[in-house]
Structure 1
C-alpha cells in the first residue's frame, strides 16, 4: 500500500481487527458506560453537572452525545467514533515519526499505538483515546516551531488551540500543555524575539488554551448554572479522599508492567542516538513530552485502572520509532503480532471477569422494573440504557454514592447517606447490587441499603457475570430466593 490513502486503509484495518472483540459488548468499561448514558440523556434535555453529576469536562459528553446523533446502537456508535479517533492519532504518529525514523518504522510505531491501547483499557472510549489526537496536533506543531519549519506564532497558536480543546475532554492534559507553552517561549527567547512581541504572543497562546473552558463556563453561567459548573469542574476533585496506598501501589505496578516493553525498547535502543542531526532538536521535544507525561501520571496519583497511564503511550510510541528503524521488518512485525495477541488475551480475560453482552442483557432482563425507576447501587451503569429506564438521582454513577473516596458533600455536592435515603424513599422498582462487595465501599450508604432491602425487598435474581462475581437484583415485596445465589447473601438476606 502506497501513499496516505493506503496508510489510512492499513491503520483502519488494524484498528478494526484489534478492537472488533469489543464491538458487541455494551459493558467493557464502567466509565464509558456512564459517559454514554450522560450523552444519551443530553438528547432528552439533561444538563451535565445540573441534572447528572460528574467531573469530566463538557467536551467529553458532547462527543458521546454526538456519537448517538444518527440513531442505531449507541454502544456500537461510540466505539466506532473512538476507533476513528484512534486511526487519526495513529495516522498522525506515522506522519510525525517518519521524519525521525523513516516510513516503515513510523508505520510500526503507529500500529503499536493502536495495539497498546488494548493492554490499558483503551479498547473503547476512555478520554485519552479522544484527546490524544488533539495533543498530537499540539506536539507536532511544537516540533515544527522548534525546527523552524513554520512560524513560531502560528505553530504556537495551533498547539495551544489544540490543547485548549483537549482540556475540555479532560483537564489532565494541563501539564503537557504547560510544557508545550514553556518550550514555545524558550524557542522565542532563543530566536531573539523582542520581549514585548514575545509577551504578546504568549498572551494570545494562553487565551487560545483557555477559550474553550471559559466558553463552557460562560454558557452555564448564562443559564444560571455557573456555580454547578464551577463545583463539578474545579472544586469537587479536592473533596475526594485518597484510596489505600497499597491499592494504588498495586495499580502503579500494573501500569509500569504494561508499559515495560516500550520502556525497554526505548532504554536499550537509545533512540536519541539514531536521529538525523538535523532533526535532533525536534526529537528532544518528544523526549520532554514523554518525560512530562510520565511525571503527570505519577503526580495525579491514581492508579486504580491502567487507563490512567494511557497518555504515556502516545509520546512513548513516537520516541520508540527510531529504535524500530534499526530493526528488520520481520522483527517489527513479530513485536506487533506479540502485542496484538497479548491485547486480545487481555480483552478476553476482561470480558470473562466483568461479563459481556450476554451477561449484561441477562441482568437487564432481570432488573427491568414493572414500575418506578431502576436503581443501580453497584453494577453496570449501562443498565439504565439497556432497560430504557428513568434515572432515580442526579448521582447515578454508582461510585459517587457507594465508595469511600466520594463519601462527603465536598466530593459530590450532597451527603451520600442523605441522597441514598431519598432514592430509596422513592421505592425503586428494582435495585441492582454486586457480590462480592467492593472492599473500598462506603459503609454508611451500605448500611442504609441493607436496612431497606431487608425490610422492603426480596432477592429476585442472581446473575453470574464472571468467576466469583454475581449481580444481585432486588424487587419490592416478599419472594422466594432464586437458585444460584451466593450462600452468604442468602444467609444475611442482603
Structure 2
C-alpha cells in the first residue's frame, strides 16, 4: 500500500491532465476510432501494433473522463510493475533494498516522460512479471527443486505475457527470445534419463518433449500477433498490416537528433553503473543467487541492445531499461556505501522528477485545454493538425466525426524521416488536405524554422502559405510559462488558426 501511495504522490500533479504528451493523446484518439469501427492501418494509419490501439481505445470510451481513466490505469500499472521489481530483486538482494529499487523505478519514470500513459508504463508491467516467472525457475533449479510441471506452466505464462507485450511494443521480441532461450536451456537440463538406455533413445526421449515445450512457448508468444495478421488477411487488409508493421519501419530514413542521442546515452550509462558499482563495493553472487543475478543481468543487457538497434532515438526510449536496472541496483543495499548511494539516488531522482512534473503541470493546465476547446468551437468544424497535438482531433464532437486524412499522427506529414515511409506521398497528401480548407489548422511556431527543420522547406512553405492566405490566428499556447530562454521561432507549442471570414470550408463534419 505504501508503494501505491508513492506512485500516486509522484504522479498526482498530472493525473487526468489531457495535455501531458502528444503520443498519448493520439493513441486514445486512434483507439477510439478502432472501437468505433474504423480499420487501423487503413482508415487511420500508424505503425504501432493493433493491440495497443485496442487497449487505449478502452479508455476513450469514457468520453470526457478518458484522461482520468487512462491515468488511473497507468498508476495501477506502475504499482504492479513496482511489486514485480520487489519480487525479482528479492532473489538477489535484501528485502529493504528490493523495496528501495521499486521506489527508485517509480521516481525514475518521471525523468523520461513516464509520468503519463506512454506505452512502456504498461508493457513494463507485462515484461517484469514474465521475467519473474522465468527467474523463479532459475532460482528453483539453483535450489535443486525444479519440477517439469512448474517449468511448463511458468514458461507458458511468461511467454503469453511476452506475446501481449509485443502488441504494445514489437521490440520486446528481443527480450522474449532471451526468455525463450533460457526456458529451452532449463527444459533440456530438467529431464534426466538413465545412462543405461541407448543413446538414440535418450536423445529421442529428450528431444520430443523439449521441442514440444519450445513450440508451445513460441506459439504463445506469437499468438496475438499472428491472430491480428490473419484477421487482417481475411478481411482483405493484409497488405495494409504488412506495410505498417514491417515495410514502413525500414523505409524511415531520418537521423536521430544529437540532443536525444545524448539524453538516451546518459540515461543508459547511469543505469548501467549498477554493474561496476556492485563490483567496486565487493558484491559477489554465489550459490542460489548466482543464477538469478546472471539471468537478470542478461535481461538488462538485451533490453539495452534492443534500444540501441531500434531505428530512431528518443529520450523516452530509456523507459524500458528502468525496470531491469532497478532490480540490479537493489543488491547495493548490502554495502554501507551502497545504502547511501541508493538513498541519495532516490532523493535526487524524486526531486528532479517532481520538478519536471510540476513544471509541466504549470505549463499545461485544464484551463489551457478548455481554452483550446473554446477556440475550436466558434464555429465547430473539421480540424487538421500539423506537427502539433493529436488531442485537438477530438476536442469537439464535430472534430471527432471529421476525418480529414487517414494519416492523423502529428508528425507523419511533417517529419523528414517519414517521407517515403507512408502509404501516401506526404507533400501530395498535405496539398490535398489544405485544398479542402478545413475550418481549423493547428501547428506550432517551430513550423517554418529553417534551422530546426532544414529539409522540410517545401511542406512547411505550403502549410505556412496557406495559413497566411486563408486563416487567422485565434489561439496560441506558450511552450513554457517562463519562456525567456526560447527563440521566437519555438515560442508556442500549439497555435490554432481559423478559416478567414468569407471563406467556406470544402469539408464539413458528417451529421451524428
8 Å contact from structure 1 (residues 367, 431) kept in 2? no
Shift of 1:273: 3.2
Shift of 1:425: 2.2
The aligned runs of 1:305-316 (5 Å cut-off) are 306-316=315-325
Residues 1:380 and 2:372 aligned together: no
Question: Cα deviations across residues 208-237 of structure 1 (Å, max 9, x unaligned)?
Answer: 111110111222233322222222122211
Which residue of 2 is the match for residue 436 of structure 1? 446
* Separation of aligned partners in 1, 2:3 and 2:395: 32
Which residue of 1 is the match for residue 462 of structure 2? 448
Question: Cα deviations across residues 67-93 of structure 1 (Å, max 9, x unaligned)?
Answer: 244555111211111111111111111
Paired residue secondary structure (1:99): coil
Which residue of 2 is the match for residue 153 of structure 1? 152
* Separation of aligned partners in 1, 2:350 and 2:269: 16
Question: Cα deviations across residues 100-127 of structure 1 (Å, max 9, x unaligned)?
Answer: 2122111111111111110111111111
Residues 1:123 and 2:115 aligned together: yes
The CA RMSD measured in Å over matched residues stands at 2.4
Residues 1:242 and 2:242 aligned together: no
Shift of 1:239: 1.4
Equivalent of 2:245 in 233, 247, 258: 233
* Separation of aligned partners in 1, 2:215 and 2:268: 37
Paired residue secondary structure (1:60): helix
Which residue of 1 is the match for residue 499 of structure 2? 476
The aligned runs of 1:239-278 (5 Å cut-off) are 239-243=251-255, 247=257, 249-270=258-279, 273-275=283-285, 277-278=287-288
Paired residue secondary structure (1:125): coil
Question: Cα deviations across residues 278-323 of structure 1 (Å, max 9, x unaligned)?
Answer: 121122100000111111111114323x211211111101111111
Shift of 1:452: 2.2
8 Å contact from structure 2 (residues 13, 361) kept in 1? no
Shift of 1:261: 4.3
Which residue of 2 is the match for residue 166 of structure 1? 165
**Gap regions ≥5 residues in structure 1:** 1-8, 480-494
Which residue of 2 is the match for residue 184 of structure 1? 183
8 Å contact from structure 1 (residues 185, 198) kept in 2? yes
Paired residue secondary structure (2:408): coil
* Separation of aligned partners in 1, 2:290 and 2:372: 56
* Separation of aligned partners in 2, 1:85 and 1:252: 28
Deviates more, 1:142-151 or 1:22-31: 142-151
Which residue of 1 is the match for residue 298 of structure 2? 288
Which residue of 1 is the match for residue 223 of structure 2? 211
**Gap regions ≥5 residues in structure 2:** 193-205, 503-512
* Separation of aligned partners in 2, 1:311 and 1:395: 27
Equivalent of 1:395 in 407, 413, 424: 407
8 Å contact from structure 2 (residues 29, 60) kept in 1? no
8 Å contact from structure 1 (residues 117, 310) kept in 2? yes
* Separation of aligned partners in 1, 2:344 and 2:410: 42
Which residue of 2 is the match for residue 457 of structure 1? 471
8 Å contact from structure 2 (residues 274, 328) kept in 1? no
8 Å contact from structure 1 (residues 374, 392) kept in 2? yes
* Separation of aligned partners in 2, 1:272 and 1:141: 29
* Separation of aligned partners in 2, 1:329 and 1:182: 34
8 Å contact from structure 2 (residues 377, 396) kept in 1? yes
Question: Cα deviations across residues 133-166 of structure 1 (Å, max 9, x unaligned)?
Answer: 1111221122222232453332222221111111
* Separation of aligned partners in 1, 2:340 and 2:309: 38
Greater Cα radius of gyration, structure 1 or 2? 2
* Separation of aligned partners in 2, 1:422 and 1:371: 21
Residues 1:346 and 2:356 aligned together: yes
* Separation of aligned partners in 2, 1:144 and 1:73: 39
* Separation of aligned partners in 1, 2:309 and 2:439: 43
Cα distance change of structure 1 residues 272 and 406 upon mapping to structure 2, 3 Å threshold: farther
Shift of 1:336: 2.1
Shift of 1:381: 1.1
Cα distance change of structure 1 residues 371 and 28 upon mapping to structure 2, 3 Å threshold: closer
* Separation of aligned partners in 2, 1:66 and 1:36: 8
* Separation of aligned partners in 1, 2:434 and 2:353: 41
Which residue of 1 is the match for residue 335 of structure 2? 326
* Separation of aligned partners in 1, 2:303 and 2:477: 41
8 Å contact from structure 1 (residues 243, 405) kept in 2? yes
* Separation of aligned partners in 1, 2:372 and 2:61: 27
Paired residue secondary structure (1:474): strand
* Separation of aligned partners in 2, 1:251 and 1:459: 31
* Separation of aligned partners in 2, 1:357 and 1:72: 12
8 Å contact from structure 1 (residues 139, 159) kept in 2? yes
Alignment length (residue pairs) = 464
Please report the TM-score for the alignment, with normalisation by the length of structure 2: 0.84
Shift of 1:27: 1.5
Shift of 1:20: 0.8
Paired residue secondary structure (2:45): coil
8 Å contact from structure 1 (residues 367, 432) kept in 2? no
Paired residue secondary structure (2:495): strand
Paired residue secondary structure (2:48): coil
Residues 1:39 and 2:40 aligned together: no
8 Å contact from structure 2 (residues 59, 67) kept in 1? no
